[in-house]
Amino acid sequence: MQQESAQKAVGSVRQWESLVAVLFLVFGSIVMWDSWRIGSRCRGEGPHAVYVPFYVGLMIVVSAPVILYAPAKGKDAVLENSRDLSPTFP
């Protein structure tokens, strides 16, 4: 006799994707803020050491809405079908 465990999922995929996107947004914002606080400005002698981390944080912040797009639209994946994966060479 097999015993089936009645384990329930902690949350849906959409909830976890939304949570990860919000965490990316917070993390990227902290990186940008701290880089700006330390001095990510470009001066006469060139960019400072925290210049690159500022733009990495900016890319993370910009990617968060892209991650939120699918769960907000109510879809499980951004790609609609397998034709979206094919290259678009002429």
List CB contacts of 5: < 8 A, sequence separation 6 or more: none
In this predicted model, what pLDDT tens digit does every residue of 36-73 receive, in sequence order? 888 766 666 766 777 788 899 999 999 988 888 766 77
**8 Å CB contact between 24 and 64:** yes
Please tell me the distance from the alpha carbon of residue 9 to that of residue 28, in angstroms, as a whole number. Answer: 29
Query: Would 26 be classed as within a structural domain?
Result: yes
Q: Full-prediction pTM beyond 0.85? A: no
Query: Would 1 be classed as within a structural domain?
Result: no
Tally of CB atoms within 10 A around 54 = 20
Total count of domains within the chain: 1
Query: Would 83 be classed as within a structural domain?
Result: no
Query: Would 9 be classed as within a structural domain?
Result: no
- The tokens for 85 are 């994966």
Higher local confidence (pLDDT), 2 or 63: 63
Q: 1 falls in which pLDDT band (50, 70, 90)? A: very low
Query: Would 61 be classed as within a structural domain?
Result: yes
Running DSSP on this structure, what letter comes out for residue 81?
A: S
Please tell me the distance from the alpha carbon of residue 15 to that of residue 32, in angstroms, as a whole number. Answer: 26
Per the structure, the complete domain to which residue 38 belongs is given by 19-74
Query: Would 85 be classed as within a structural domain?
Result: no
How does the average pLDDT of the chain come out, rounded? Answer: 76
